[in-house]
Amino acid sequence: MASKPPTISDKSAETVTRAEELAYELRIHEVMTENVFSLSPEMQMETALDIFQRERFSGAPVVQDGDLIGILSIEDLIRALREKHLTASVREYMTTELAIVRKSDPVVEALKTFSRTKYGRLPVLDEDGRLVGIITKGDISNGLLDALQRDYHAEELIRYRASHLFEDIISHRTSLILRYDIRQGDFIHGGFASSNIKRALLRLGAKPQLARRCGIAVYEAEMNLIIHTEHGGTLRVEIEPHKITMEAYDDGPGIEDVELAMKPGYSTATNEVREMGFGAGMGLVNIKRCVDEMRLISSTERGTNLYMIMYLNDAEDDPKMVS
């Protein structure tokens, strides 16, 4: 009876765990036990019992002339013991109704077979139908755990490489530059650039507090570009081992009175902008409080350039990014 596979919606697909993904990605031959010990059908049950006890087997395939003809499990041995019939041959007690899987099948096929049958182990056959291994639920758990660990190491490696970027590259002055084009009026994406800048800093090994301060400053600057410019502007972040320079520039309209613009609470924002929670006249004030150095150069002819600089000289601030 073939049961209908459950439909996977986009929504539920998002919550599919990595282990579930791996069950489809990993192939049975990657997790199975190879070189399995096989029994001959003419072997006495007593001999099989000795082997199982010595090797701590809980089951073994029975092979005749290279073909798989059955499985002998510990339950079959118990049956023979109960019936006090250890002189019988393996052939008489082995299970011949076999559920098999192919070595190139995904692991999920074995999982499905386990849940459909009562078996604890499945023989694995190659394309020519020859026995190449045995798979148990334990093999699958171990295989998934190994694969998850490999994933984890890969992620760790990326993180490690990023945080040692500045140590690995030798030059008189190494820097990493991130650029983001910010569109005027694009409130929906407001903060997109800043959250990515913050994430990049964390990945490069910056301490959370430093990344947060940079994030706040650059977020206010990003919102200013969205709210106050004529054609949007650019965010440019230059990361060096000893400092982070964040720059927001645009081509107009420029700030008429820079001193006034720096006063807490002063704002030229429209009501619409205020309804969105911005334009309270605190942006530049916030920026100044978050960064070590701030410079605002603006003219009605050339537009506005805002420089925000964080120094990383203090070894306590951020050991990894200090050369």
Partner 1 sequence: MKLNKLVQLIDGKVLTDDSLGDRDIAGAMGADLMSDVLSSIKPDSVLLTGLCNPQVVRTALIADIRAIVFIRDKHPAQETIDLANAENIPLVTTSHGLYDACGVLFQAGLPSFETQTEDDCA
- For partner 1, the binding residues (CB under 8 A) are 11, 14-15, 187-188, 190-192, 194-195, 198, 208-209, 212-213, 215-216, 219-220, 223, 276-278, 280-283, 285-286, 289-290
For partner 1, give the closer residue by CB, 100 or 280. Answer: 280
Q: How many CA atoms lie within 13 A of 205 on its CB side?
A: 23
- Closest approach, Cβ 182 to partner 1, in A, equals 13
Nearer to partner 1, 171 or 271 (CB): 271
For the CB of residue 218, give the shortest distance to partner 1 in the complex, in Å.
8
Phi, psi of 18 (to 5 degrees): -60, -35
Nearest to residue 321, comparing CAs of 179, 176, 218, 167? 167
| Calpha distance 114→107 (Å, rounded) | 11
Structure-block tokens of residue 165: 């970027």
Nearer Cβ to partner 1 (132/290)? 290
- Provide the minimum distance between the beta carbon of 18 and partner 1 in the complex, in angstroms, as a whole number: 15
Q: Which amino acid is at 176?
A: L
- Is 59 or 283 the residue whose CB approaches partner 1 more closely? 283
Q: Whole-number minimum distance, CB 309 to partner 1, in Å?
A: 15
> Smallest gap, in angstroms, from Cβ of residue 280 to partner 1?
5
Nearest residue (CB) to partner 1, 166 versus 278: 278
Q: From CA 150, how far away is CA 138, in angstroms rounded?
A: 18
* Side-chain half-sphere CA neighbours of 188 within 13 A: 0
> Looking at residue 209, what DSSP letter applies?
H
- Closest to partner 1 by CB, 29 vs 207, is 207
CB 205, min distance to partner 1, A: 17
Rounded least distance, CB 201 to partner 1, Å: 11
Concatenating the DSSP letter of every residue in 47-91 gives HHHHHHHHHT-SEEEEEETTEEEEEEEHHHHHHHHHTT-TTSBHH
Please provide the DSSP assignment of 104-172 as one string: TSBHHHHHHHHHHSS-SEEEEE-TTS-EEEEEEHHHHHHHHHHHHHHHHHHHHHHHHHHHTHHHH---S
Considering the complex, state which of residue 10 and residue 168 has its C-beta at the smaller distance from partner 1: 10
